[in-house]
Amino acid sequence: MSVSPAIAPEAFEKLRTLLDDRFSTNATVLEQHGRDEGHLPMAPPDAVVFPNSTEEVQKVAAICHEHRVPMIPFGVGTSLEGQVIATQGGVSIDLSGMNKILQVNFEDLDARIESGVTRRQLNDYLRDQGLFFPVDPGADATLGGMASTRASGTNAVRYGTMRDNVLGLTVVMADGRLLRTGGRARKSAAGYDLTALFIGSEGTLGIITELNVRLYGREEAISSAVCPFDTLKGAVDTVIETIQMGIPIARIELLDEVQMDAVNRFSNLDYPLRPTLFLEFHGSPMGVKEQAETVGDISRDHGGGDFRWTAQEEDRRALWRARHDVAYACKALRPGGELWATDVCVPISQLADCIVQTRRDIDAANLIAPIVGHVGDGNFHVAMILDTSDEEEMKRAYEFNERLVDRALKMGGTCTGEHGIGIGKREKLVAEHRDAVPVMQAIKQALDPDNLMNPGKLFLDS
């Protein structure tokens, strides 16, 4: 990591002239833009800009490009691997003000939105029209941030991740050029899939300013259930069998007993302190009933208790809000503790072994770390709550995380299912994709030759 180059005074002046009070060097604002919700140390940018339009982003990029100033796209700062931390200084480009929903096409089930729209804002807007957007990471992230980290969430087992739900993008390149990728057709074989290239590129190739996203009609019937299990393995085996049978379950989430304790305390609930599945079924009334019966049979075979059902919309929302709030629930387990939420994803045949070994490892390492996961995809998180001032504890956490990733890679999995690489997993990207990293870097070099876009992220020597 190079030392932060102070922003060139001319660039400073040009940005202030362009944006007036939407250019800031206020220390509090800089600090707010120098951290995310992960465990990595804060590093402030030299300035923050708040553009209102794609055209303004183009002008900002052109100024930064001319003066070789690093640019860090910023949504609402909910990344977990340091993606928005300004380790090399530069200008943080805060897109949260670009939050217009530009167009909703009911007939085509798609929408065009600015990248600062958050997932809750979008779904609140769509609710009355009987539509929804399914990708739902824990935080109320912006859609631009979600695209940049290839975010996922509880619905991915049925509806896919950001990779599957973005039809096209508007991107401002490092030199201020405009790029439009994809389109509104549901499929296309026209040239390289630049949409997919930008999704998951973590701001290192350009600044996403608009998205075309897929929408879904709200299902006729939705039913959610909570089911406790005697053992972690029984819960995981239920998931595996459900997926293998091809049941189109909408959500199937595992919370271990430590996580259930955190959720009960934080959300004032009274679930049993056992490994528990949160499930949701979508479809026709008959289809939902049929799916629920089949999964009920499977879970009983694996030591599952009775399903506690929730069919009213308000109750369902409370249930999933509790699930989404696990990160905050975890933090509340240890007041003053800092969250380090790591994630891995493995082939589902390896999932039970991976989770059971990981639970044993956490206990042996004497860490406070609930396990929660989108287990239908083979993806799970370990939410370590740490005293960051305790060096010995931090060392144990670091070593545990190394072992977790190595375990997942040995099992044919990936070092991150949905949180991304950022700063925190750059070595692990090399471990997973040794041949591929040079190819990724050749693409980075081709599209951003001066390494101005979010430098220091994804690649060790950037």
Tell me the three-class secondary structure of the chain, residue by residue. Answer: CCCCCCCCHHHHHHHHHHHHHHEECCHHHHHHCCCCCCCCCCCCCCEEECCCCHHHHHHHHHHHHHCCCCEEEECCCCCCCCCCCCCCCCEEEECCCCCCEEEEECCCCEEEEECCCEHHHHHHHHHCCCEECCCCCCCCCEHHHHHHCCCCCCCHHHHCCHHHHEEEEEEECCCCCEEEEECCCCCCCCCCCHHHHHCCCCCCCCEEEEEEEECEECCCEEEEEEEEECCHHHHHHHHHHHHHCCCCCCEEEEECHHHHHHHHHHHCCCCCCCCEEEEEEEECHHHHHHHHHHHHHHHHHCCECCCEEECCHHHHHHHHHHHHCHHHHHHHHCCCCEEEEEEEECCHHHHHHHHHHHHHHHHHCCCCCCEEEEHHHCEEEEEEEECCCCHHHHHHHHHHHHHHHHHHHHCCCECCCCCCCCCCCHHHHHHHCCCHHHHHHHHHHHHCCCCCECCCCCCCCC
Among 238, 379, 401, 462, binds a copy of itself (CB under 8 A): 379
Whichever of 203 and 228 has its CB closer to a copy of itself, that residue is 203
Of 141-160, which residues contact a copy of itself (CB under 8 A)?
Answer: 149-152, 156, 160
Kindly state whether residue 177 participates in binding a copy of itself, applying the rule CB under 8 A. Answer: yes
Residues of span 327-346 touching a copy of itself by CB under 8 A? 345-346
Rule CB under 8 A: is residue 348 a binding residue for a copy of itself? yes
> Which residues in the 240-259 window bind a copy of itself by CB under 8 A?
240, 243-246, 248
Residues 181-220 that bind a copy of itself (CB under 8 A): 181, 183-194, 196-197, 199-201, 216-217, 219
- The interface with a copy of itself within residues 266-295 (CB under 8 A) comprises 283-284, 286-287, 290
Residue 412 makes contact with a copy of itself by CB under 8 A = yes
| Given 421, 423, 452, 453, the residue binding a copy of itself (CB under 8 A) | 421
C-beta of 126: minimal distance to a copy of itself in Å? 14
Work out which of 34, 116, 138, 413 binds a copy of itself, going by CB under 8 A. Answer: 413
Toward a copy of itself, which CB reaches closer, 43 or 352? 352
Q: Which of 55, 108, 313, 427 binds a copy of itself (CB under 8 A)?
A: 108
Does position 314 bind a copy of itself by CB under 8 A?
A: no
Angle formed at CA 164 by CA 376 and CA 425, multiple of 5 degrees: 70
Amino acid (one-letter) located at 5: P
Q: Quick check: 382 binds a copy of itself (CB under 8 A)?
A: no
Q: What are 76's strand-pairing partners? A: none
Residues 426-445 that bind a copy of itself (CB under 8 A): 428-429, 432-433, 435-437, 439-440, 442-443, 445
- Tell me whether residue 11 or residue 341 sits nearer to a copy of itself (CB atom): 341
Binding flags for a copy of itself, 1-40, as an x/- string (CB under 8 A): ----------------------------------------
Look at strands 221-228 and 308-310 and give their pairing.
antiparallel
Least distance in angstroms from the C-beta of 68 to a copy of itself: 20
Q: Which of residues 36-95 bind a copy of itself (CB under 8 A)?
A: none
Q: Which stretch binds a copy of itself (CB under 8 A): 44-52, 64-72, 380-388, 421-429?
A: 421-429
380: CB partners within 8 A, 6+ apart: 254, 343, 344, 345, 351, 354, 355, 358, 371, 372, 373, 374, 417
Q: How far apart are CA 327 and CA 332, in angstroms?
A: 9
Encoding tokens for residue 19? 């944006």
How far apart are CB 411 and a copy of itself at their closest, in Å? 9
Per CB under 8 A, the segment of 38-46, 262-270, 321-329, 410-418 that binds a copy of itself is 410-418
Q: Considering the complex, state which of residue 267 and residue 291 has its C-beta at the smaller distance from a copy of itself.
A: 291
Any contact of residue 410 with a copy of itself (CB under 8 A)?
A: no
Nearest alpha-carbon partner for 268 in 334, 336, 329, 337: 329
Using the minimum distance from each CB to a copy of itself, give the nearer residue, 19 or 172: 172
| Residue nearer to a copy of itself on the CB measure, 192 or 335 | 192
Site for a copy of itself in 87-106 (CB under 8 A): 105
Q: Which is nearer to a copy of itself, 41 or 347 (CB)?
A: 347
Decide if residue 349 touches a copy of itself (CB under 8 A). yes
Q: Does 458 participate in binding a copy of itself (rule CB under 8 A)?
A: yes
Q: Is 423 in the site for a copy of itself (CB under 8 A)?
A: no
Q: From the CB of 11, what's the least distance to a copy of itself, in Å?
A: 25
